[in-house]
């Protein structure tokens, strides 16, 4: 390129200002405080629960999508313990440089802090990036002589305290049951379990009368004829069970509960990094093959913007704190 052409390009760009510069040079990548393009090294995505659960499943699918889009590794690290508080606190106190992230849930951000004395504040210590997905729950029973949620409510009112349900105390399925009890003004008795797996085994065996179960756990049992489903906890019917009504439309208007999974950064993470991760996560979760992969396991992609997700989380925190208080749930 000769000097005359270079001079002409410089004159045009100078006249166009920063817009011209960006058009000629291309959009600049997100930068860290050191001036390096972000991400310049692998990003750690902390899951505060063991491998194989809902948080872990959604985290690994998101990590694959981000790795493919950004060209840098996003690595899932399981730091479980204390109902998710260990891993969640680790991220809350991590250096906010964009390289340590949390894949949390309704449990870590809204329920556990309302029950236990957590060493983190979910509203203060995190910058929400995006809601990844939701998983509705199914209200299931093996042998109870009821076919709808409305019939279950009527039976519970006739036999206060006699119906039993299984759940790990403080888990999302427990909270869904407590919300159901509060809104229906009924009394059912919790049979505590250490996890959802043992609870559903006893429900199928008839030792427990019913339970609210995460869809990925109970759907295979429903399809196999080992459990009967009365209703879904979602606000709308789910595509994989279109014939099953919601609890809201079958006796309890306004009822809604679903396990949700979200992507978070430490609160002081630069806003441009949060915005970049949101854009990449949303783009990575929206392709039909990714949505279908999650839907086949009972998870439904949300992929929300930063502001809507922040507002959602800020509403969920007091919502579930109120349920915890009204249900009288105390630390073990």
Collapsing DSSP to helix, strand or coil, 124 comes out as coil
Q: What DSSP assignment string belongs to 196-251?
A: HHHHHHHHHHTSS-BEEEEHHHHHHHHHTTSSEEEEE-SSS--TTSTTSPBSGGGT
Instruction: Give the residue-averaged pLDDT of 210-217.
Output: 93
Q: What is the pLDDT of residue 14?
A: 41
What's the predicted TM-score (pTM) here? 0.84
According to the model, what pLDDT value does residue 32 have? 56
- In Å, how far are 164, 260, 329 from 278, measured between CA atoms? 42, 17, 35
Mean pLDDT, range 107-120, rounded to an integer: 94
pLDDT at position 68: 96
**What one-character-per-residue DSSP string does 65-83 give?**
HHHHHHSS-EEEEE---GG
43 exposure class (CB count in 10 Å sphere: 0-12, 13-18, 19+): buried
User: Residue 95: phi, psi to the nearest 5?
Assistant: -60, 125
**In the chain, what's the furthest Cα-to-Cα distance?**
92
Burial of 258 (0-12, 13-18, 19+ CB in 10 A): buried
Of all residues in the chain, the percent with pLDDT exceeding 70 is: 89
Long-range contacts of 223-226 (CB under 8 A, 24+ apart): 226/142
- Has residue 159 got a pLDDT over 80? yes
pLDDT tens, position by position, 14-53: 443 433 333 333 334 565 555 578 999 999 999 999 898 8
Q: List the one residue out of 171, 168, 150, 146 whose CA is nearest residue 228.
A: 146
Mean pLDDT (whole number) for 161-184: 95
């Amino acid at each position: 390129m000769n000097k005359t052409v270079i001079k002409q390009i410089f004159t045009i760009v100078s006249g166009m200002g920063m817009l011209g510069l960006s058009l000629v040079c291309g959009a600049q990548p997100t930068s860290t405080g050191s001036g390096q393009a972000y991400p310049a090294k692998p990003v750690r995505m902390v899951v505060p629960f063991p491998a194989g659960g809902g948080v872990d499943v959604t985290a690994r699918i998101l990590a694959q999508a981000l790795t493919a889009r950004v060209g840098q590794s996003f690595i899932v690290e399981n730091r479980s313990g204390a109902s998710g508080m260990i891993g969640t606190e680790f991220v809350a106190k991590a250096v906010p440089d964009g390289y340590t992230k949390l894949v949390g849930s309704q449990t870590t951000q809204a329920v556990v802090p309302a029950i236990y004395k957590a060493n983190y504040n979910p509203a203060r210590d995190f910058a929400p990036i995006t809601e990844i997905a939701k998983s509705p729950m199914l209200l299931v029973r093996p042998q109870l002589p009821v076919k709808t949620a409305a019939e279950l409510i009527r039976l519970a009112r006739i036999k206060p305290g006699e119906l039993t349900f299984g759940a790990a105390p403080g888990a999302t399925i427990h909270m869904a049951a407590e919300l159901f009890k509060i809104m229906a003004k009924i009394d059912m008795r919790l049979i505590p379990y250490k996890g959802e797996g043992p609870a559903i085994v006893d429900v199928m065996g008839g030792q427990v009368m019913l339970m609210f179960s995460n869809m990925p756990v109970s759907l295979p049992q429903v399809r196999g004829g080992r459990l009967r489903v009365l209703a879904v906890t979602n606000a709308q019917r789910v595509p994989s069970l279109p014939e099953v009504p919601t609890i809201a439309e079958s006796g309890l208007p306004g009822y809604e509960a679903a396990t949700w999974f979200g992507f978070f950064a430490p609160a002081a993470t630069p806003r441009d990094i949060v915005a970049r991760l949101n854009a990449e996560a949303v783009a990575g979760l929206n392709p039909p093959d990714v949505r279908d992969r999650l839907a086949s396991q009972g998870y439904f992609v949300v992929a929300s913007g930063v502001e809507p997700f922040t507002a959602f989380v800020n509403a969920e925190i007091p919502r579930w704190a109120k349920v915890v208080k009204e249900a009288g749930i105390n630390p073990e």
